[in-house]
Amino acid sequence: MQDEIFIDTVIKSSSEFADSIGINSVVAQIYALLYVSPSVLSLDEISEKLHLSKSTVSQNIRILEGWDAVKNTFVKGSRKDYYEVNHDIMGIILTRLKRGLSNRLSKAEKNLNEMVNLITTVKDTARKKFYQKRLEKLREIYQKILTLAIMIPDKM
């Protein structure tokens, strides 16, 4: 019984934290369950313990696999899918952070370049200079964030 209380608390806390930082709470629940499980779990077991449908668990497992947070594991004598967790939480977080920033920075750079091109169409010289100064500030911010993103280590 004490194990169940502990596991439920870990799952609930992980879900709440994930939700507060914009991560799917079901993904966090599945990861937390696998993290505190002493052995691999099947899709059925995960579904049963979290009171979720197998399709919901399956969809969210795919997300975790994409993050390299869990992997499918073979269990001799069974045809079910079993999963084990990657215990390197910090590595997963750093990878997700770097990927997320990289994607957002690529989009920001594209948008900044588009704005630079649009400024050339502004006829009013004073307005054009004003816009150029504002874009220079945005580029400075972009460069600082890019520098920070590059400094994020792959491992800790």
Q: Quote the pLDDT of residue 2.
A: 80
Q: Quote the pLDDT of residue 156.
A: 77
Phi/psi class of residue 77: alpha, beta or left (left: φ > 0; alpha: ψ in -120 to 50)?
left
Looking at the predicted structure, is the pLDDT value of residue 1 above 70?
no
CATH topology of domain 2-87: Arc Repressor Mutant, subunit A (1.10.10)
For 46-75, how does the pLDDT look when each residue is reduced to its tens digit (9 = 90+)? 999 999 999 999 999 999 999 999 999 999
Looking at the predicted structure, is the pLDDT value of residue 21 above 90?
no
User: CA angle, corner 79, sides to 73 and 82, nearest 5?
Assistant: 30
Give the Å distances, CA to CA, from 97 to 11, 24, 114: 22, 15, 26
What Rg do the C-alpha atoms of the chain give, in angstroms?
22
**What proportion of the chain, given as a percentage, has pLDDT over 90?**
80
Average pLDDT over residues 35-41: 95
Phi/psi class of residue 85: alpha, beta or left (left: φ > 0; alpha: ψ in -120 to 50)?
beta
What strands lie across the sheet with 41-42, from one edge to the other?
A: 41-42, 82-85, 70-73
For 88-146, how does the pLDDT look when each residue is reduced to its tens digit (9 = 90+)? 999 998 888 888 899 999 999 999 999 999 999 999 999 999 999 999 999 999 999 99
Q: Quote the pLDDT of residue 129.
A: 95
pLDDT band at 154 (very low <50, low <70, confident <90, very high): confident
Give the integer Cα–Cα distance in Å for 148 and 156.
16
Higher per-residue pLDDT: 95 or 42: 42
